[in-house]
Amino acid sequence: MSKPELAQRISEDLSQGNIESIREALSNVHPSEIASILQNFDPDDHTKILEALDNETASEVILELDPEQREDILEDFDADKIADIADEMDSDDAADLLGELPEQTAQSVLDKMDPEEAKDVKPLLKYPEDTAGGIMQTELVKVSQNSTVRDTINWIRLIADEVEDFQLVFVTDNQDKLLGQISLTKLILATASTNVTAIMEPIEVTTTPYIDQEEVVKIFQKYDILSLPVVDSSGVLLGRITADDVLDVLSEEASEDLFQMAGVGDSLHPIYTPTRTRILLRAPWLLLTLIGELFIAFIIVYAFQPTLEKVAILAAFMPAIMATGGNVGLQTTTIIIRSLGMGTINVKQMFKLVISEMKVGLSLGLICGIIAALIGALISYNQPEVTRLALAVFIAMVSATLATSFIGVAAPLVLHKLDFDPAAASGPFLTMFNDIFGSVFYLFIAMLIL
Amino acid sequence: MSKPELAQRISEDLSQGNIESIREALSNVHPSEIASILQNFDPDDHTKILEALDNETASEVILELDPEQREDILEDFDADKIADIADEMDSDDAADLLGELPEQTAQSVLDKMDPEEAKDVKPLLKYPEDTAGGIMQTELVKVSQNSTVRDTINWIRLIADEVEDFQLVFVTDNQDKLLGQISLTKLILATASTNVTAIMEPIEVTTTPYIDQEEVVKIFQKYDILSLPVVDSSGVLLGRITADDVLDVLSEEASEDLFQMAGVGDSLHPIYTPTRTRILLRAPWLLLTLIGELFIAFIIVYAFQPTLEKVAILAAFMPAIMATGGNVGLQTTTIIIRSLGMGTINVKQMFKLVISEMKVGLSLGLICGIIAALIGALISYNQPEVTRLALAVFIAMVSATLATSFIGVAAPLVLHKLDFDPAAASGPFLTMFNDIFGSVFYLFIAMLIL
């Protein structure tokens, strides 16, 4: 059945209250497909459709939804139902789910969960969700250093259901400290009586639970691994992070950079986030910029009214100067922020980077400045002050691109060094700085030479 | 030894020409660390340091470098040396490396490579590097449907050295068509005489080689898998893509969006890309915008000179209107582009999305318009036309935010539907559109009411 047909059938089933038929229709559909089909239905129907599914499928569908949608649905479920769903999840996903619930609900869900599952989830709740601890899962396969390959295989037989996906067996000492790892290939090829320490390999890299998830992404990229053990300060194995979790983090972090640069604040689903929330999250940067720009207006009115009255068409070139300076600044800051994010540059190279970017900015400014001055002179050829006007445009454009190149490279580097998010630099700061050059500084130059 | 100490030692070794000591100093350092230490040296020294390493380490270091740095180094190596290095790589990485070389060099490297390795690499060269075929590797473990678990384990024993990392054994029929997969856990737990078809699981999802790598990322995110088989149109197994390769693609794609939006064109390392290249790659968008803005200047000079001469301080509010409209547009387009990239919205919801974003844009425009009109009136309280001036600012600001909201949501959706990159929409198009509203439309309104 195609997606539209499926949606059609479910829609009919819903109106007839035929829950059994919904379950049957969705029985062979992948949970992420179901999540995408849900987008065709009203929020009220989401709950009904999810109730028709078995708990395992429902748990997977819920994980695929947008946080806002998930919140809506969970509000309609009681603690028993949420506990049943959480029981089906990996510990890291269950912990995230509990973290999204109101504290009281989370506690009663935890009480109603299967004790074995709850035991896996509880230690994860203390880690902030954007840390290594927040994205790790506690389900893993570990054996003590005294085990043989036969013991290990027997142990895997016992827990294979609980720990679904694993690529490595971890070997720990008697204090639960991580000693090494065994790939499943090695395990397959070894003889049954071999001791695990004889075939284990050293752990290339580990992390600790309070490390920022951005750092975790960098570790995965640097070492090209599929699984990363998380240990506490004394080396005791706490959990593992897998590459598929890191994929989610990476796409989240990339969005964060984009949203920061656009002053959006946070991920906002354009349909499911309430309009009010979206306005409130987007307004701060806008208002900050607006206040700065009105300050610019104030300066123009009080300092440059005579200049503007003398040569009214000065105003005609303000948009060009502001747009050019703004674009050069945005280009520079984007390159620097992204290079910092990917770890291809570091703050120690600051001097080299600033010089290098300003060289490019100056060249671009000279190119644009010459073109703007020439065309500007052409446009205003019949004005009495045409040559000086063109000169003012040229000077202002070169200064604006130089200034925004400097801020575009220096601001993110300084913010990064001070442990702030460099993406925040391209916000109000860069826009205002640029617009001062494109208007106030330009009019100042014009006043001097006209 | 700390990184600065290591760099210091290598620097001394280089000046003394002590290659042996460099090799020793770096013998226990992770290739990605070595790549990062290289950043402290002049490009000329990079080649010398790499020559000091064994081929396997050198191959891993080279993969960690920026494309520009890699190109510089490979230019200094002869085909024999490059072939030795490529022999040590996975087939997908070796194919990428060959793809970066001039065609003639690539051919002679291929001729000098180990014939076994070259055989793995050759079929990959025909796929564009941003497709599934371009990121897949041909090394994998497959067994025919007639094999037993014992056969499979014996086969793994034979090829374990060549295929280093694998999580799944693929089962194919007599025409090499993919039938199913076996996890290593299943293999460990099965008895030796079992036929593989008895324990294999169905393949959840496959892809074909010419699919765009962005789609591959979406498949990994949707299905939470660590490895994806690539098959041709008749189902014959060609290769597999692993999650660590997808991590690289994802961070590349996220950069691409950012760079597109900033009009940077492509990834440019701020130090290693030659200044000339950076200027050439950044200039096109700038010049396009500049031409548009100079056209705006032309309109202002010819249509609104009398208006500006009458009320010179009209110009004072142009930056505020342009900045507000521009920001609202950038916010909107960022949200839409990112949501399209993550697959959380689809083009079928276009109407809903446009209405929804314009509601938010109108609200933000009204808030900013009222503030700007009030403060604008305050700033210019002693001007004769203050009320009408404030009204013009208000109308222009609301119109600008409404218009840029519309373009910000509609342009990326339309581009996406037409199979263009939606990130291109936020470039010259949005800036120019916005600046027309912030200057020409504003002055038009002012002319009408003043």
Give the helix ranges, DSSP H, for B128-223.
132-135, 149-159, 184-189, 196-199, 213-223
Q: What is the pLDDT along chain B (450 residues), one digit of tens a residue?
A: 677 788 888 888 888 888 888 888 888 888 888 888 887 787 778 888 888 888 888 898 888 887 778 888 888 888 899 999 999 888 888 988 888 888 888 899 999 999 988 888 888 888 988 899 999 988 889 999 999 999 999 999 888 877 767 888 999 999 999 999 998 888 888 999 999 999 999 998 999 999 998 889 888 888 888 889 999 999 999 999 988 888 888 877 777 777 777 777 666 677 777 788 888 888 888 888 889 889 999 999 899 998 988 888 899 999 999 999 988 988 888 888 878 877 777 777 888 889 989 999 999 999 999 999 999 999 988 888 889 999 999 999 999 999 999 999 998 888 888 887 777 666 667 888 888 888 899 999 999 987
Confidence of residue A426 (pLDDT cuts 50, 70, 90): low
Residues 6+ apart with CB under 8 A from A446: A307, A311, A314, A388, A389, A392, A396
Is residue B247 located within the same domain as residue B280?
no
A313/B300 CB distance under 8 A: yes
Q: How many domains does chain A have?
A: 3
Q: CATH no. for residue A12?
A: 1.25.60.10
A244/B247 CB distance under 8 A: no
Residue finishing a domain among A130, A157, A182: A130
Cβ pairs bridging A and B (under 8 Å): 359
B371 touches B294 (CB < 8 A): no
Distance between CA atoms of A328 and B286, rounded to whole angstroms?
A: 8
Give ∠ CA A23-A26-A30 in degrees, rounded to 5: 140
- Chain B residue with minimum CA distance to A331: B262
pLDDT tens digits, residue range A266-308? 666 777 777 888 888 888 888 888 898 899 999 998 999 989 8
Distance between CA atoms of A96 and B150, rounded to whole angstroms?
A: 42
A136 touches A239 (CB < 8 A): yes
Distance between CA atoms of A324 and A171, rounded to whole angstroms?
A: 59
Distance between CA atoms of B287 and B295, rounded to whole angstroms?
A: 12
SS3 for chain A is: CCHHHHHHHHHHHHHHCCHHHHHHHCCCCCHHHHHHHHCCCCHHHHHHHHHHCCHHHHHHHHHHCCHHHHHHHHHHCCHHHHHHHHHCCCHHHHHHHHHHCCHHHHHHHHHHCCHHHHHHHHHHHHCCCCEHHHHCECCCCEEECCCEHHHHHHHHHHHCCCCCCCCEEEEECCCCEEEEEEEHHHHHHCCCCCEHHHHCECCCCCECCCCEHHHHHHHHHHHCCCEEEEECCCCEEEEEEEHHHHHHHHHHHHHHHHHHHHCCCCCCCCCCCCHHHHHHHHHHHHHHHHHHHHHHHHHHHHHHHHHHHHCHHHHHHHHHHHHHHHHHHHHHHHHHHHHHHHCCCCHHHHHHHHHHHHHHHHHHHHHHHHHHHHHHHHHCCCCCCHHHHHHHHHHHHHHHHHHHHHHHHHHHHHHHHCCCCHHHHHCHHHHHHHHHHHHHHHHHHHHHHC
Nearest to B289 among A160, A323, A342 (CB): A323
**Residue B137 covered by a domain:** no
Is residue B224 located within the same domain as residue B364?
no
Is residue B162 located within the same domain as residue B211?
yes
Three-state secondary-structure class, residue B29: coil
Q: Most B CBs within 10 Å: which of A141, A247, A300, A348, as the mutation test of the B interface?
A: A247
Q: CATH no. for residue B304?
A: 1.10.357.20
- How close B219 gets to chain A, by Cα (Å)? 10
Give contacts of B338 with chain A, Cβ < 8 Å: 255, 258-259, 267
Q: Is A264 on the interface with B (CB under 8 A)?
A: yes
Domain enclosing residue A12, as ranges: 3-130
Is residue B254 located within the same domain as residue B343?
no
A188/B185 CB distance under 8 A: no
| Continuous segment of H or E residues that includes residue B172 | strand B168-172
Distance between CA atoms of B118 and B83, rounded to whole angstroms?
A: 9
Nearest to A184 among B185, B246, B360 (CB): B185
Three-state secondary-structure class, residue B114: coil
- How close A47 gets to chain B, by Cα (Å)? 19
Is residue A125 located within the same domain as residue A149?
no
Is residue B399 located within the same domain as residue B313?
yes
**Residue B134 covered by a domain:** no
Distances (CA, A) of A420 to A332, A342, A417, A423: 18, 16, 7, 9
**Residue B270 covered by a domain:** no
Residue finishing a domain among A243, A259, A293: A243
pLDDT tens digits, residue range A371-396? 999 999 999 888 888 899 999 999 99
**Residue A261 covered by a domain:** no
- How close B104 gets to chain A, by Cα (Å)? 30
The alpha carbon of B306 is separated from its chain's Cα centroid by a whole number of angstroms, namely 49
Give contacts of A357 with chain B, Cβ < 8 Å: 270
Chain A from 273 to 312: CB within 8 A of any B CB: 275, 278-279, 282-283, 285-287, 289-290, 293-294, 296-298, 300-301, 304-305, 308-309, 312
Give contacts of A380 with chain B, Cβ < 8 Å: 301
- Of A440, A366, A356, A374, residue with least CA distance to A397: A366
- Rounded mean pLDDT of A318-340? 88
B102 touches B83 (CB < 8 A): no
Q: CATH no. for residue A205?
A: 3.10.580.10
B327/A431 CB distance under 8 A: yes
| Continuous segment of H or E residues that includes residue B98 | helix B91-100
Structure tokens given for B98: 């060959």
**Residue A435 covered by a domain:** yes
Residue finishing a domain among B78, B103, B128: B128
Q: Is B32 on the interface with A (CB under 8 A)?
A: yes
- Of A375, A433, A373, A425, residue with least CA distance to A403: A433
**Residue B327 covered by a domain:** yes
Distances (CA, A) of A62 to A27, A78, A104: 16, 15, 20
B275/A359 CB distance under 8 A: yes
Is residue B256 located within the same domain as residue B280?
no
Is residue B258 located within the same domain as residue B368?
no
Query: Residue written as tokens 């078995």?
Result: A54
Structure tokens given for A206: 């580990």
Give contacts of A185 with chain B, Cβ < 8 Å: 156, 160, 166, 184
Q: Most A CBs within 10 Å: which of B148, B184, B185, as the mutation test of the A interface?
A: B185
Give contacts of A263 with chain B, Cβ < 8 Å: 327, 330-331
CA atoms B326, B329, B335, B340: torsion sign: negative
Distance between CA atoms of A169 and A180, rounded to whole angstroms?
A: 9
Is residue A156 located within the same domain as residue A92?
no
Nearest to B254 among A248, A254, A439 (CB): A254
**Residue A253 covered by a domain:** no
pTM beyond 0.90: the answer is: no
pLDDT tens digits, residue range A123-172? 888 898 889 999 998 888 999 999 999 999 999 988 887 776 788 899 99
Distance between CA atoms of B34 and B29, rounded to whole angstroms?
A: 7
| Phi, psi at B88, each rounded to 5° | -85, -10
Is residue B89 located within the same domain as residue B229?
no
Distance between CA atoms of B124 and B132, rounded to whole angstroms?
A: 10
pLDDT tens digits, residue range A206-223? 999 999 888 898 888 888
Is residue A83 located within the same domain as residue A191?
no
**Residue B178 covered by a domain:** yes
Is residue B418 located within the same domain as residue B313?
yes
